[in-house]
Structure 1
Amino acid sequence: MRRILTIIIFIIVFVVGIAFSAINNDPVALNYYLGTLSLPLSIVIVISILLGLILGASAIFMSSLQLRYENRRLHKKLDTSEQEINSLRILPLTDEH
């Protein structure tokens, strides 16, 4: 069921994308530091969306790496603490009074 829903959503997005591309076919001048490039508006929008997705994914990936590092550090600290607790449990209780 989930696979069918995914296929249906993909088809709808594809059809809407084709319609969007057909409607926004006017050329747009894209000025950048080295020159000017004339592209259809739909291509400029798609490139902008893809760049945003790439930048967002890279930011999430970097955050994920930081969280993995922190998780690994905390697991090591937990293991050390558990070993210390286990070694203290083994020691006999002595009363010096």
Structure 2
Amino acid sequence: MLRLIRNLIVILGLVVGIAFGFFNFEPVNIDLLFTNTQAPLVVLLVIVFVLGLLIAGLACMARIARLRGRLSSARRRLKDAEAEISNLRSMPIHDA
């Protein structure tokens, strides 16, 4: 049931995307300081969307890399603490 709902949402998204592309296919002027060009609006929107995804992906990957470093450090400290506890448990108790 969940797979059917997911597939329907994907199909609906594709239909909306195709309709959006169809109604926004007129060319627009683009001024990039060093050149002027014309391209369909939908092509520009797709390019900008993909660039946004790439930039967001890079930002997320950097954050994930930092968090993985912190996690490995915490695991290393936990392993050292567990080894120390194990050593302390195996030591004989001396009465003073």
TM-score normalised to the size of structure 1? Answer: 0.88
In 1: Cα distance, 2:36 partner to 2:60 partner = 32
State the Cα distance separating 1:33 from its structure 2 match.
Answer: 4.4
Deviations 1:56-88 (A, max 9, x none): 112111111111111111101100000001101
In 1: Cα distance, 2:95 partner to 2:33 partner = 80
Greater shift after overlay, 53-62 or 73-82?
53-62
Over the matched positions of the two proteins, sequence identity in percent amounts to: 32
Gaps of 5+ in 1: none
Pair 1:76 & 2:76 matched: yes
Gaps of 5+ in 2: none
Secondary structure of 2:92's counterpart equals coil
In 1: Cα distance, 2:88 partner to 2:41 partner = 70
TM-score normalised to the size of structure 2? Answer: 0.89
Alignment of 1:85-96 (within 5 A): 85-96=85-96
